[in-house]
Each structure stands twice: as C-alpha cells, then as structure tokens.
C-alpha cells in the first residue's frame, strides 16, 4: 500500500474543492490501490466507487490509436497510409496537406491545423458534418511543421476505422477493444453517462467557487467521448504495460504498443524540471519523470479532469479521474504516487501546487482589471442597434444570429445564447457562463462595407489564425421573388444600355452592353452583388411601393446611377 496516500487524496480534494475522485495504482503490473473518494455529485450523497463511470475525455485518444493499431496488425492499414486513400472525399484547406496527410499525422497532431475546437465543441454536428467543414478551416502551420493538439483529427481517425471495419467507431471499439479487455462499465455519450445509475456529475469553477456544471455532449467521440470506471481503466493500463496482452493472451501486438509509446513529435519543455521534454506518440504523451520514461494522457472537458500515466520499464501505472475541472490534483496525486512506488525521496507536490493555485486565483483578479483598463470608456456604436441585427454565416463555424432586445444586442449561436455587452466602438462581448460550454468574453467585432452597412462579424474563435469572419446572410427585398420581378427591365447610364432579366428560378441576370452576362446575388435590403465581381454592387431604387425606377452601381471608383427606360 501507499503510506499516507488516503490522507493526501482527502486533503487535495478539500483544497481544490473536488466532489469526487477515483484512483487506480498499479505496481509490478498488479493493482495495489483501487478506490473511490468523495461524492459522485455535490447535490447528492452517493459515494464514488471503483465502478462509478466518469467521462475519460482525451484519454479516449489512446483507445482510438489502439483501434487503428488492430487494423495495422491485420494489414488493413499502415500508419503512413494517406487519409485520402481511405476517405476519398477528405479535404483540408491546403491542397498539399489534403493529399499527403497520413493516419500517423492524425494521431500525433501533425496536420498543420490548430485546435479549431469551436467547430465541434457546441456538440451539434455529427462526424460527417465535421468532415465537410475541415476544408474551410485555415491552418496555422504547414503539414508536419510542428505539433498542434487537434481533436478534429481524432474524429477523422475514428472515421478511418469506420471505413475499414464497416462498423460505427463505438461498436468497433467496444467489440475489438473494450470487451476483450473485460470492460463492464462503459458508454460513449454524455446522455448514456447521465442515464447510468452509478455516474459522476461534472463540476466547474468560477474563480474559487465550485459550480455544478451542465452536461455538455462530445460528438467528436474518438477524441474524447468514452466513459468508463476506474476499475476498467486499470485493465487498459495493465494491457499496455503487458505489451498488448490481456490475461496472457495478445490483444495488440507488441509492435503496435511500442509504436504508440514511441516519440513522434516534440511538444515542449515541461513546466517542472522533474519531467523534462514532452513528446507525443500515437494517442499517448511521452515524457520522463525523475529519470524514468513515462507515457501518459490527460483529459479535460467542462467539469471533468483525468490523467493516466504509465512507467513501462517498471510496469507501474496511475489513473486519476475527477468530476471537477480545471485542477492540478490529477498531476499532484500522480507524481506523489510515482515517488512512492519508485522509492524516490518524496517531493511535497501538494505545497508546490497549492501555492500555484493561490497565485492563479490572485492573478485572475489582476487580469480582470487589466481587461477593463483596455476598454475605451465613453465610446458608442457607430450604428443604431437595429442595424446590427441579422444572421451571419461561416461555412465551418455555422450561423450567428444577432437580435435587438430593448436597449442591447443578443446573440444566438448553435444552441448558445445571451446578451452582448458593449465593450467599445463596434466591439461587443459575450457573457461569462462558467458552468456551460460557452465562449466566455468572446469579442465580436462588427464590420461594415464602404456604403456603411454592417455586413460582417469577426470573432477570435481560433487564436492561432486570423479572426473567423461571419458574413451577413442575404435578407430583405432582394431575397423575395416579387421584388426581383419588379427589377426586370432596361436601364440606361448615359448612352450605355443595361438589361436586367429573370432566369428560370426567379434570380436576376445583368448584362451591360458589350460585356458578359452576370448573375446578381442578393445581399441585404434591395442590394445585390455581381456573383463573379463581388466588389461591384447594384441597388435598385424604389421610390414607391410598386415602382423600381433606377439602379445604383456602387464600385470601388465611385457610385453611378442608371435610370430605368420606360416603354
């Protein structure tokens, strides 16, 4: 057993306000500690047991990599197989990366894409919808240029397994991995987790106040959606420590386990000198702790924090599952347990990390003051609030709807909503909702075209690339068939003839004498843009309820009026 470890767990849970925790410690390939601590839910007295299901978050990635490893063992796949050979419709923004990205690149976060987590985080897209949006996501690095953590890439990796196995990723993972491992307490969605009679409930933090968090679905399931108990997770650790064997029988080949644990790409220097450089393998992080090689993976989601760590040479492992995030307790208990099972002189990780916690809480107040200081007091929006109202769209990030509500603006985006606070000029910010998946304090910058019409919203949803720009969706008279029919006719600008015609679908076509015919695309109000020349816009003037008497060309070099020819 571990000396004084129960007391350390209880003390850590109290300091970090963790309701419940499940722990597994393996020494020489055998569990020496399997235990639940605290409550499954702060609102109920039921205790955590070793059978209590937790959301494993990104620990799931080790299972996704191993599942593909099974297919490598069967020669249905190679780590270097290009994704496009398996999924012909796969597209990234960069054409070279599209052709060359391999399965290995997916698993070691080498795609060139930054996280772009707000594509999947709202939980309203299925795998196919995520796949279709990848081509619209800007990369921040070239292919294999640097490590960038990527949940969407693991959703693609899960789809690779589906294509090759002919099964849903969940069914494939359950039948080929979890059931042979002996898992008895697992599921693949937060809905299934919440319905289980022995489940933990997530908790989030607002400063130093603990909040009971909402259930937030993970639809990129191969990246982080597996739920399991700590007693089942201990079986996975033993399999990896035993080079892929379960009760002496091979499940994964030793080669695949070795591939998963082999550094593929450098990540960073660790924050603690006892850990050293951090590398990433295939679904596992590779480090050293006090001279011994470790492989691990952490996991985090709203209200959940997890960590699984293995020391293969010593056949030791530790898993810590908690229903509160963010927290340093998973690392604290892991390092403290490793010190004991390895016989190292103990480090007071509790005191070290508690000091950091209190420094962080103090810093939060300083940061809030700094944010307020950057605001330009006394400024006002450039337009009346109704001018900002409308729907704005991005091909990957979806649609934002802005509404007026009394003397303020409100936003709605993929199931999230709330009032916007005016920061300064044309910048508004979203509210803080720490108990929900929500982009807190997100700055929405409203932009306008050269005619002064609000037509875009720029939002820093992925900080490693330029702001994500949502363009206003067409609305107003230009979108109605009745108005467009009134616009059909002949117009004159000096001696130049301009014809506006209707096509079979009721759209408008514009022909300037001596130039190609061009389609008019509705924008807003009575404004259109030329489909292949979007910097040129046409507005139809309507002085009365039934009369269109002119069209106004708005071009980079000026504004030009063409009058309608009346027969």
Question: pLDDT, tens digit, for every residue of 540-567?
Answer: 999 988 899 999 999 988 899 999 998 7
What is residue 372's predicted lDDT score, i.e. its pLDDT?
81
The string of pLDDT tens digits covering residues 480-517 is 999 999 999 999 999 899 999 999 999 999 999 989 99
Rg (CA), the chain: 29
- Residue 232 scores a pLDDT above 80: yes
Strand segments, DSSP code E, in 506-557 are 508-512, 518-522, 527-530, 533-541, 550-555
Integer distance in angstroms from the first to the last C-alpha of the chain?
Answer: 99
347: in domain: yes
Q: How confident is the model at residue 406 (pLDDT cuts 50, 70, 90)?
A: confident
Q: What is the CATH number of the domain that holds 524?
A: 2.40.128.50
Is the pLDDT confidence value at 1 over 80? no
pLDDT at residue number 291: 93
pLDDT of residue 135: 97
Q: Do both 355 and 503 map to the same domain? A: no
Together in a domain, 251 and 342: yes
Q: What is the pLDDT of residues 334-384, one digit of tens each?
A: 999 999 999 999 999 999 999 999 999 999 889 888 888 777 888 999 999
Q: What angle do CA 443, 326, 231 make, to 5 degrees?
A: 140
Q: Report the distance separating Cα 317 and Cα 351, nearest Å.
A: 23
Quote the mean pLDDT of the chain.
Answer: 95
* 534 in the same domain as 449: no
Residue-range definition of the domain harbouring residue 435: 385-472
CA distance 225 to 206: 24
- Which pLDDT score is estimated for 378? 86
Res. 169: pLDDT tops 90: yes
32 in a structural domain: yes
Residue 86 has pLDDT above 90, yes or no: yes
- The pLDDT assigned to 85 comes to 97
- At 376 the pLDDT is 85
- Residue partners of 557: CB distance under 8 A and separation at least 6: none
| DSSP SS3 for 532 | coil
| In-domain check, residue 227 | yes
In DSSP terms, 552 is beta-bridged to 539, 561
Counted domains in the chain: 3
Residue 156 lies in a domain: no
pLDDT at residue 45, as a whole number: 86
Given a cut of 80, whether residue 165 has pLDDT beyond it is yes
Phi, psi angle pair for 276, to nearest 5° = 80, -150
The model carries a pTM of 0.93
Q: Residue 364: how many CA atoms within 13 Å on its side-chain side?
A: 10
Residue 142 lies in a domain: no
- Whichever domain contains 272, its CATH number is 3.40.710.10
Same domain, 330 and 419: no
For the record, the structure tokens of 558 come out as: 């000026």
Domain co-membership, 258 together with 277: yes
Per-residue pLDDT at 49 exceeds 80: yes
Q: For 335-466, where are the E strands, in sequence order?
A: 390-394, 398-405, 408-413, 416-424, 427-429, 443-448, 454-459
- Note whether 491 and 404 are same-domain residues: no
């Amino acid at each position: 057993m571990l000396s004084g470890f129960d007391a350390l767990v209880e003390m850590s849970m109290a300091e970090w306000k963790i309701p419940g925790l499940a722990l597994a410690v393996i020494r020489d390939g055998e569990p020496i500690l399997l235990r639940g601590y605290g409550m499954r839910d702060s609102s109920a007295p039921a205790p955590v047991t070793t059978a209590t299901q937790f959301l494993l978050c990104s620990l799931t990635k080790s299972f996704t990599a191993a599942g593909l490893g099974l297919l490598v063992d069967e020669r249905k796949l190679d780590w270097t197989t290009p994704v496009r050979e398996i999924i012909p419709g796969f597209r990234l923004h960069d054409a070279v990366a599209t052709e060359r990205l391999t399965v290995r690149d997916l698993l070691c976060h080498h795609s060139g894409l930054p996280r772009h987590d707000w594509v999947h985080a709202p939980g309203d897209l299925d795998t196919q919808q995520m796949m279709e949006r990848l081509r619209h996501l800007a990369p921040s690095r070239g292919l294999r240029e640097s490590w960038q953590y990527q949940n969407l890439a693991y959703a693609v990796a899960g789809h690779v397994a589906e294509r090759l196995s002919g099964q849903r990723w969940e069914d494939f993972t359950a039948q080929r991995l979890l059931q042979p491992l002996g898992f008895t307490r697992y599921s693949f969605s937060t809905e299934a987790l919440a319905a289980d009679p022995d489940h933990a409930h997530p908790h989030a933090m607002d400063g130093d106040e603990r909040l009971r968090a909402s259930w937030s679905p993970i639809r990129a399931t191969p990246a982080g959606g597996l739920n399991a108990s700590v007693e089942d997770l201990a079986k996975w650790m033993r399999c990896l420590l035993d080079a892929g064997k379960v009760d002496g029988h091979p499940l994964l080949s030793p080669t695949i386990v070795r591939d998963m644990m082999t550094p593929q790409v450098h990540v960073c220097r660790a924050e603690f000198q006892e850990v050293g450089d951090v590398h990433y393998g295939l679904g596992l992080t590779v480090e050293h702790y006090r001279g011994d090689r470790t492989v691990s993976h952490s996991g985090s989601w709203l209200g959940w924090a997890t960590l699984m760590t293995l020391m293969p040479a010593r056949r030791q492992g530790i898993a810590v599952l908690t229903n509160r995030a963010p927290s340093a307790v998973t690392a604290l208990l892991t390092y403290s347990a490793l010190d004991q099972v390895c016989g190292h002189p103990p480090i007071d990780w509790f005191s070290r990390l508690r000091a950091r916690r209190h420094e962080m809480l103090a810093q939060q107040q300083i940061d809030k003051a700094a944010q307020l200081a950057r605001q330009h007091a006394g400024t006002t929006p450039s337009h009346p609030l109704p001018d900002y109202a409308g729907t704005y769209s991005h091909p990957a990030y979806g649609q934002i709807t802005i509404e007026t509500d009394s003397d303020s603006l409100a936003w709605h985006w993929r199931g999230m909503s709330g009032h916007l606070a005016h920061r300064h000029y044309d910048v508004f910010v979203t509210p803080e909702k720490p108990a929900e998946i929500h982009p807190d304090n997100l700055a929405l910058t409203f932009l306008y075209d050269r005619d002064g019409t609000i037509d875009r919203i720029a939002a820093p949803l992925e900080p490693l690339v330029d702001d994500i720009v949502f363009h206003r969706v067409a609305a107003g008279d230009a979108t109605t068939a009745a108005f467009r029919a009134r616009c059909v006719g002949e117009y004159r600008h000096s001696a130049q003839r301009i014809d506006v015609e209707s096509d079979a679908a009721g759209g408008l076509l514009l022909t300037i004498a001596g130039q190609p015919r061009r389609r008019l695309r509705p924008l807003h109000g009575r404004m259109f843009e030329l489909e292949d020349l979007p910097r040129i816009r046409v507005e139809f003037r309507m002085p009365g309820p039934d009369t269109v008497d002119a069209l106004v060309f708005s071009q980079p070099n000026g504004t030009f009026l063409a009058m309608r020819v009346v027969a």
